[in-house]
Chains A and B, each alone.
Chain A
Amino acid sequence: MSTAETALGAPAWNDPNRVGHHGYGHRPGGEPTGHGEGGPASKRVIVGFGFWIYLLSDIIMFSAFFAAYAVLANATAGGPTGRQLFNLTNVGVETGCLLASSFAGGMASIAAAVRNQLWTQISLLVTGVLGAAFLYLELHEFALLVAQGAGPTRSAFLTAFFSLVGLHGTHISVGLLWLGTMMAQIWAKGFQGYIMRRLLCFTLFWHALDIIWVALFTIVYLMGAG
């Protein structure tokens, strides 16, 4: 087995810049896979990588909203500032909900990996309930702001605030819709390959939204209120 490696020089499995590189020829153990120098990566690997690219492009779009907010944070036009408006207790509870929701999503991916229908459904339900609680708190905050006359039309600061936080909330809403259909699909169709790939993409999406929320509560709420 070592002869195969030395004949080829650098072992093929050692090339890090290759999607699904373990599918190519030689494994770390030196055992050939039986089909020469390999073939395409599995669908799961390619789908996961592709969705990762989408998530990164989504984060780049968010960065434009973050930039707009950072530039306009002091353009209050004589209106209320973040220090007067933000309720950090509410934001703390929102953060806790989203973090716990992300954790429950991770539990769902473990339950699905061992093909446990009951725990997958329970974990996804907890993920969804916590996500809905987050969304409720956010909409409640928006309603309070608008009621105080601090709606998105009041100042450039508030326009940027509602755009950025609202964009994240829109993603959460779409994620909840996706979550509901995932639960129905797992229930009706079981743990088939394409269902598992969709679940993988959903958990990636959900964890990524939590990462964006970390940036959001730091830049918007903590730095705005501090």
Chain B
Amino acid sequence: MANYPEAHDDTHDLVPGEEQVDGYDIAQGIFGYVLGLVFASGLTVASFYVAGSQLIWGAGIPVALIVLAIAQMGVHLVFFLHISTSPDSANNILALAFGVLLVALVFIGSVWIMAHLNANLMPMSQVMQMQR
């Protein structure tokens, strides 16, 4: 049967935050969010627990916290913002990758440069002496 959808039918395209439109299943949609909520809650509880316990060796705590935070951001992106590996997400993922690059440049770059400036700067007492 020649089955022509209406012109420019792109109802199958998904934008971030959107559910699959055709054959919409409420139970499945809710299940996705519940799964995301469970994962996110678990990671949050783990973060707060790790921060206040002796479970992990002191110097490893910041690393563990960063890993847990990145994992939780991933959970939010996948289950709440519906970013996936499907072709529909390709544009959004490219934009996201560029955003992450800029965030990393701004954040890591600032911390790096300022740490070096601090280390190379003359102590304040010496600056005062030179101005005499």
Given contacts A19-B91, A52-B15, could you give 19 more A-B pairs where the C-beta distance is less than 8 Å?
A: A13-B87, A17-B90, A17-B91, A23-B13, A31-B3, A31-B4, A39-B8, A41-B10, A48-B16, A56-B99, A63-B103, A67-B106, A70-B107, A70-B110, A71-B111, A109-B17, A110-B26, A200-B18, A207-B81
Could you say which residues of chain B place their CB within 8 Å of the CB of A39?
Answer: 7-8
The 8 closest A-B pairs by CB, nearest first: A48-B15, A16-B90, A67-B110, A56-B99, A23-B10, A218-B69, A222-B51, A63-B103
Interface size, chain B (Cβ < 8 Å): 61
Asked whether, in the complex, the Cβ of A218 is within 8 Å of the Cβ of B47, the reply is yes
Interface string of B88-132 (1 = CB under 8 A from A): 101110111011001100110111001000000000000000000
Could you say which residues of chain A place their CB within 8 Å of the CB of B62?
Answer: 223, 226
Could you say which residues of chain B place their CB within 8 Å of the CB of A16?
Answer: 87, 90-91
**Given A39-B8, A52-B95, A204-B17, are A223 and B81 neighbors across the interface (CB < 8 Å)?**
no
Could you say which residues of chain A place their CB within 8 Å of the CB of B17?
Answer: 48, 109, 200, 203-204, 207
Could you say which residues of chain A place their CB within 8 Å of the CB of B65?
Answer: 218, 222-223, 226
The answer, yes or no, to whether A184 is at the interface (CB within 8 Å) is no
Interface size class of A (residues with CB under 8 A): 35 or more
Asked whether, in the complex, the Cβ of B95 is within 8 Å of the Cβ of A34, the reply is no
Could you say which residues of chain A place their CB within 8 Å of the CB of B3?
Answer: 31
Could you say which residues of chain A place their CB within 8 Å of the CB of B57?
Answer: none
Q: List 27 A-B contacts (CB under 8 A).
A: A19-B91, A21-B87, A23-B9, A27-B12, A31-B3, A33-B4, A42-B10, A44-B15, A44-B18, A48-B15, A56-B98, A60-B103, A63-B106, A64-B106, A66-B107, A67-B107, A67-B111, A88-B51, A103-B37, A107-B33, A109-B18, A207-B76, A207-B80, A211-B76, A215-B69, A218-B65, A223-B51
Contact of B66 among A13, A21, A218 (CB under 8 A): A218
The interface of chain A, by Cβ under 8 A from chain B, is 13-14, 16-23, 27, 31-35, 38-42, 44-45, 47-49, 52-53, 56-57, 59-60, 63-64, 66-68, 70-71, 88, 92, 95-96, 99-100, 102-103, 106-107, 109-110, 113-114, 200, 203-204, 207-208, 210-211, 214-215, 217-219, 222-223, 225-226
Tell me the minimal C-beta distance from B5 to chain A in angstroms. Answer: 6
- Best-buried of B3, B10, B99 by chain A (most CB within 10 Å): B10
Q: Which of B1-51 contact A (CB under 8 A)?
A: 3-13, 15-19, 21, 24, 26, 29-30, 33, 36-37, 40-41, 44, 47-48, 51
Could you say which residues of chain B place their CB within 8 Å of the CB of A211?
Answer: 73, 76-77
Contact of B73 among A21, A53, A203, A215 (CB under 8 A): A215
Asked whether, in the complex, the Cβ of A59 is within 8 Å of the Cβ of B90, the reply is no
Give A59 to B100 CA distance when docked, in angstroms. 9
Give A47 to B81 CA distance when docked, in angstroms. 15
Smallest CB-CB separation from B96: which chain A residue?
A56
Asked whether, in the complex, the Cβ of B24 is within 8 Å of the Cβ of A70, the reply is no
